[in-house]
A = this chain, B = another copy of it.
Amino acid sequence: MKANLNLIFPPSSPVYVHNPHLEQMKDDILYHFNLGTATHNLPAMFGNVKFVCVGGSPWRMKAFIEYIAAELGLEDPKSEYPNICAGTDRYAMYKVGPVLSVSHGMGIPSISIMLHELIKLLYHAHCTDVTVIRIGTSGGIGLEPGTVVVTKQSVDATFLPKLEQVILGKTVVRSTDLDQGLAEELFQSSKELSQFETVIGNTMCTLDFYEGQARLDGAFCSYSEKDKQDYLAEAYKAGVRNIEMESSVFAAMCKLSGLRAAVVCVTLLDRLKGDQLNSSHEVLRNYQQRPQILVGHYIKKQLSASGKT
């Protein structure tokens, strides 16, 4: 009987926290969002969230909420999308209908703080069936600049799909698996759109933008152009098509929380040909809209299919 009922009412998937201490806390302050369970009605504010898009830059995440609002026909007539985290400058957060847009700054530690508080926010708000997509920028390997990469697997600087998380001074290894079905659906969406090149590939996640990504233009560089090219060629051989700085902890934390997760990053340059970002601002701005367009199309399609728009 249970299987049949599930066909009629598919079981909804909650957002998991894994912390027995949370239940003993009277309130929970989400400090870096300037939100909290005692001061905000989180279920009323966020209970209907189904898609969370995250990206490094607060400006870009504001642009995304304006874009998706127009796409979904949910525009505010005054075009006002207030920053929900206006009381802090650590992160910016915007919402329209079932879509939340949150900035996360640069690097694993910065996005990790945001994700801890986002996961608790979704949990406190009793959200179900949430999909989280990182829409970011990256350096490409062997791709035309402007190509969008949907991440198959997030790998570390030795090309292994793992995140080393230090807990109480001891290293714990976590898997960086992403939702393969979601990656495939996003890739299909891009084919339908047919506006720009999109590939599925591995994404290398590093702790550093210069030495960690074999750049020759940092303040320090102890290796040669050949060392750099050899390293990037090795990465390419391991299936790496782009490099960024957040995907591994994003994948690991979303997986632990039962969130469907994907990473969609545009490549701003081909690292085999250079290190400096010297395209014009207009070109770079155009590139940065591509993950938004792809993910916007996907969200619209999903909401149409579920009869929610």
User: Which positions in A face B, CB cutoff 8 Å?
Assistant: 17-22, 25, 27-29, 31, 56-59, 87, 89-90, 105-110, 112-113, 115-117, 119-120, 123, 157-159, 165-169, 206-212, 214, 216-223, 225, 227-228, 231, 234, 245, 253, 256-257, 276-278, 281
Query: Once bound together, how far apart are the Cα atoms of A109 and B218, in whole Å?
Result: 14
Residues on B with beta carbons closer than 8 Å to the beta carbon of A57? 89-90
Please tell me how many copies of the chain the complex holds: 2
Given A112-B209, A113-B209, A219-B257, 16 other A-B contacts at CB below 8 A? A17-B220, A19-B217, A29-B276, A90-B106, A105-B105, A106-B113, A107-B109, A107-B110, A107-B112, A108-B207, A112-B207, A117-B219, A165-B208, A165-B212, A167-B211, A168-B214
Whether A166 touches B206, Cβ cut-off 8 Å, given contacts A217-B28, A220-B256, is yes
Residues of B within 8 A of A256 (CB): 219-220
Question: B residues within 8 A CB of A18?
Answer: 219-222
Whether B112 contacts A109 by the Cβ 8 Å rule is: no
Contacts of A165 in B (CB 8 A): 208, 211-212
